[in-house]
Amino acid sequence: MQAQISTVLPKYLHQEEVVAQEYEDLIFSLPKENGWLASYLYKYQGFWHPVRHLQGIITCQRHFDAQDSDVFLITTPKSGTTWLKAILFTLMNRMQYPIAQDHLVLNKNPHDLVPFLEHILYADNQIPDLTSMNSPRLFATHIPFFSLPKSVQDSGCKVVYLCRNPKDTFVSMWQFTNKLRPQGMGTNSLGETFDKFCRGVSIAGPFWDHVLDYWKESKEKPPKVLFLKYEDMKERPNANLRRIAEFLGRPFSTEEEESGIVEGILKLCSFDTLSNLKINRTGKLSSGEENKAFFRQGKVGDWKNHLPIEMAQKLDMITEQKFSGSGLVL
Ligand code: A3P
């Protein structure tokens, strides 16, 4: 398929799908629906993906080799990935980059510090050379559990999973995708996108299946998967940061605790700090999105300002049905 690449728009916004020849037969045989941005979402292994992410997933499944020391931040889109990227990067690199005025997080968007597997490293059918990455390597992804490269499931690597209540997730995703739609294309209506979200047709959706698969894995393999909720991170940031550090085998020492490192990391990575940085107000990612698109409200419960009560009730009902018997409440 022929691509019409513009350097201005984010790569996945092009009307024409850019599909590598070796994936054409597979991808064009999949069910598809209109996406939330300009192109389509394809249903692969039970989940919906834009074509660019999907090719990245398949390339990743074929070529990515996980190491026991790897750490993966896995999230549902719009659940606070940017925040957790900043936190994990700062936490894991705290010896090399102590909290200071010139910290990397203050000069680069978290997405440029922690790469996504499927739509950055393995995007555009490329197989990256990861040999120069220092161990432990830190990656991010939205890949559903059963689509992860086999080596991630089989190795001793660790997964930090983050999700968020579906009402705020939906509102955040609706606002985000409307912001990214090219001028002239108009915005997606609330009703239309709500219907898609409820049917599971959203990036890496169905939302509930994504969350539930990782929830079950976290219950079966607690040393491998740490399951976090955005709301809980907001409510108990200090306790959760310590929990993450312990999970990753890097607990804070007494000296670190006394120096106030927990508070330091949380302040450095807070919504107020990150959203007000020049780099995040004016910069762009290599994939084309404006950095500021990743910072909106950063609050729990903003759905109340956007969703009519019937929509909120419908999401609650689906959540109750889908999570019934699992012990998971969002
Ligand atoms: P809202 O749209 O509700 O404001 P993701 O990073 O997965 O794309 O998620 C984006 C959501 O996380 C947005 O939510 C954004 O404002 C919020 N966010 C970004 N940085 C944050 C931070 N440091 N602390 C809390 N929330 C943050």
172-212 pLDDT per residue, tens: 999 999 988 877 778 899 999 999 999 999 999 999 999 99
**Ligand 1: which of 83, 113, 268 to mutate, judged by most atoms within 8 Å of the beta carbon?**
83
Give me the pLDDT at residue 38, please.
Answer: 67
Please report the atom of ligand 1 found closest to the CA of residue 85: 6
CB burial of residue 132 (10 Å; 0-12, 13-18, 19+): exposed
**Residue bearing the CA closest to ligand 1, atom 2:** 172
Please report the atom of ligand 1 found closest to the CA of residue 75: 7
The pLDDT confidence band at residue 286, using thresholds 50, 70 and 90, is: confident
Going from the Cα of 176 to the center of ligand 1, the distance in angstroms, rounded, reads 10
Going from the Cα of 296 to the center of ligand 1, the distance in angstroms, rounded, reads 7
pLDDT over threshold 70, residue 64: yes
| CA atoms of 78 and 307, how far apart (whole Å) | 17
pLDDT over threshold 90, residue 10: no
Is the torsion defined by CA of 26, 28, 34, 39 positive or negative?
positive
Question: What does the block give as tokens for 219?
Answer: 């219950």
Mean pLDDT of 241-264: 98
Q: What percent of the chain has pLDDT over 70?
A: 95
Question: What does the block give as tokens for 98?
Answer: 């102590």
pLDDT over threshold 50, residue 2: no
Mean pLDDT of 12-18: 58
Give me the pLDDT at residue 16, please.
Answer: 53
Active site residue 111: no
| CA atoms of 141 and 106, how far apart (whole Å) | 22
Q: Which of 15-19, 213-217, 225-229, 311-315 has the lowest mean pLDDT?
A: 15-19
Give me the pLDDT at residue 13, please.
Answer: 53
Going from the Cα of 129 to the center of ligand 1, the distance in angstroms, rounded, reads 30
Catalytic-labelled residue, pool 14, 103, 142, 210: 142
Going from the Cα of 205 to the center of ligand 1, the distance in angstroms, rounded, reads 18
CB burial of residue 33 (10 Å; 0-12, 13-18, 19+): middle
Q: What percent of the chain has pLDDT over 90?
A: 85
Mean pLDDT of 250-266: 98
Mean pLDDT of 285-298: 92
Give me the pLDDT at residue 186, please.
Answer: 83
User: Residues lining ligand 1, judged by CB closer than 6 Å?
Assistant: 75, 77-83, 168, 172, 175, 269-271, 274, 294-298, 302
Domains of the chain: 67-323 (3.40.50.300)
Mean pLDDT of 19-38: 90
Please report the atom of ligand 1 found closest to the CA of residue 275: 20
Output the CA–CA distances (angstroms, integers) from residue 239 to 74, 232, 263, 313, 327, in the order listed: 20, 10, 11, 31, 22
pLDDT in tens, 86-105: 999 999 999 999 999 899 99
Q: Taking all residues of the chain, what is their mean pLDDT, rounded to a whole number?
A: 93
Mean pLDDT of 279-284: 94
Q: Which of 4-18, 155-169, 206-220 has the lowest mean pLDDT?
A: 4-18
Range list of H helices, 95-221? 110-113, 150-154, 166-180, 190-198, 207-220
Max distance between CA atoms of the chain, in angstroms, equals 59
**Residue bearing the CA closest to ligand 1, atom 17:** 298
Of 41, 70, 66, 37, which is closest to residue 53 (Cα–Cα)?
41
181, 188 contact by CB (below 8 A): yes
pLDDT over threshold 50, residue 153: yes
pLDDT over threshold 60, residue 12: no
Give me the pLDDT at residue 19, please.
Answer: 85
Other beta carbons less than 10 A from residue 294's beta carbon = 22
Give me the pLDDT at residue 45, please.
Answer: 98
Going from the Cα of 33 to the center of ligand 1, the distance in angstroms, rounded, reads 27
Reported pTM: 0.95
Helix (H) or strand (E) holding 161: strand 158-163
Helix (H) or strand (E) holding 162: strand 158-163
CA dihedral 75, 119, 278, 295 (to 10 degrees): -40
Give me the pLDDT at residue 5, please.
Answer: 32
Mean pLDDT of 315-330: 97
**Ligand 1: which of 294, 300, 302 to mutate, judged by most atoms within 8 Å of the beta carbon?**
294
Looking up tokens 């009560």, which residue turns up? 309
